[in-house]
Amino acid sequence: MTHCKARASRTQQCRLDRQALRLAAFTTALAILPMAALAADLETSDAAIVPPQPFDTARYGDFRDRLADWKVTVGAGAIYMPEYEGSDKFDINPFPIFSAEFGDRVSVDITGVTVDLYETNGFRVGIKGGYELGRKEDDSDYLRGLGDIDAGGVIGGIVSYERGPFEVYGKIDKTIGGSDGLTGTVGTKASYRYERFIFSADVSGTWADDKHMASYFGITAGQSAGSGLAQYDAEAGVKRVDLKASITYMVTENWLVTGSAGAGFLLGDAKDSPLVKDDVQPFAMLGVVYRF
């Protein structure tokens, strides 16, 4: 966003387009932010009040007749995060918050749609469809000469087991187009409600294949010539570990204030890439949410 201003030759339209790109890029942050699990935390808090009911297949009838079955959360906030994965420079920008649940098995947020295929005694198996926005050369001065990473669709699977306030999970995502990469994440999470507060903590590790690593951390001969950075081959491996925590305060039954913070720690070939200026990637977010 600040880089369009640094170029005197850019028009006002360019600055508007740049802001739109940065805002859209924040949706990818949900992959590492606890906000992606906000709806699940709220559902957990509700479960403490209302006993869970058996899954009712009749709920998946005519959409127009089932609007009352949707649980929708909308809001907005501000996020402090690196300009790109590996940067030591940060931006503070507006951040949209949205999630919706339909019945017991379908959930939607700004990263995509998740459908639970099987659930019993806390064990769940699901599938997900979404997108990966890639990376823009204009996101940072450090990326000049490297070109853009195109956006692509994402399909994946999720397996989790929940016992009381604790959950362990694993997921795998395949990007179609763009990086064409494959990533896998395993982690554990704990959530707890105390009066009007909902606390959540999460630790996870992410593995990435050769294509993902080459796209986001590798530097080809052509990119080296254009950027001045040394040529670098990034191979498959564990690329990062993330620690996150969030607190949500229920002002009323519908209005909530939520905040989250944490850090990602780049490892292996990701950490050693010439693109990485700092292997510790902190973030913080504060938002206001309305739950229908």
The span from the CA of 269 to the CA of 142, in Å, is 18
Q: Which range is most confident: 17-21, 65-69, 267-271?
A: 267-271
- The reported pTM is 0.79
How far is residue 2's CA from residue 106's CA, in Å, rounded to a whole number?
38
pLDDT for position 157: 97
The backbone torsions φ and ψ at residue 54, rounded to the nearest 5 degrees and listed phi first, read -60, 150
* Residue (of 56, 39, 27) closest to 292 by Cα position: 39
CA gap 276, 260 in Å, rounded? 24
In the chain, the domains with their CATH numbers are 2-291 (2.40.160.40)
Q: Enter the DSSP assignment of 54.
A: -
pLDDT digits over 209-224, tens only? 999 999 999 999 999 9
Given phi > 0 = left and psi -120 to 50 = alpha, else beta, which region is 253? alpha
Residue 22: which pLDDT band, with cuts at 50, 70 and 90? very low
What's the pLDDT at 42? 54
Tokens representing 265? 């720690």
Rg (CA), the chain: 20
Q: What is the pLDDT of residue 57?
A: 40
